[in-house]
Structure 1
């Protein structure tokens, strides 16, 4: 399998951030992606990619602090939450 080009990966992740199951996560993740994806290194992009495979209802509860995020996503969720708070 060939390695996905960085520009294609960024585009794919941005599109997946915009087209979620619930509108709230569309708004939250598309804003986060627009601000941060281009600056992420490969490991951070891997974590973000894995996060996008999670259920939207779970993601929403984690981002809004209703439930703690799993350890592997806790730093990323905290960063997304900070971005959300700065928007409001």
Structure 2
């Protein structure tokens, strides 16, 4: 977890929440906004060895999987990952 809120993380959380609640979210406008704000480093020619442009598109691809992974704690306090299928 970062020390400050990141637009891309908030957008991802809102998208996952909408899927779990059965809502249909269109993120096209938000993804375009990310290109010029938080994601602009992926389009800087001087940073391609660190932040390749392709990574931006891989990270913002939606509807690729029909499930999300949720971290939960068991009765002993140990974290485990639970798959939640989305209809």
TM range (shorter): under 0.3
Larger RCO, structures 1/2 (Cα 8 Å, 6+ apart): 1
Q: Which has the higher helix share?
A: 1
Q: Rg: which structure is higher?
A: 2
Please give the TM-score of this superposition, normalised by the length of structure 1: 0.27
Please give the TM-score of this superposition, normalised by the length of structure 2: 0.27
Q: Which has the higher strand share?
A: 2
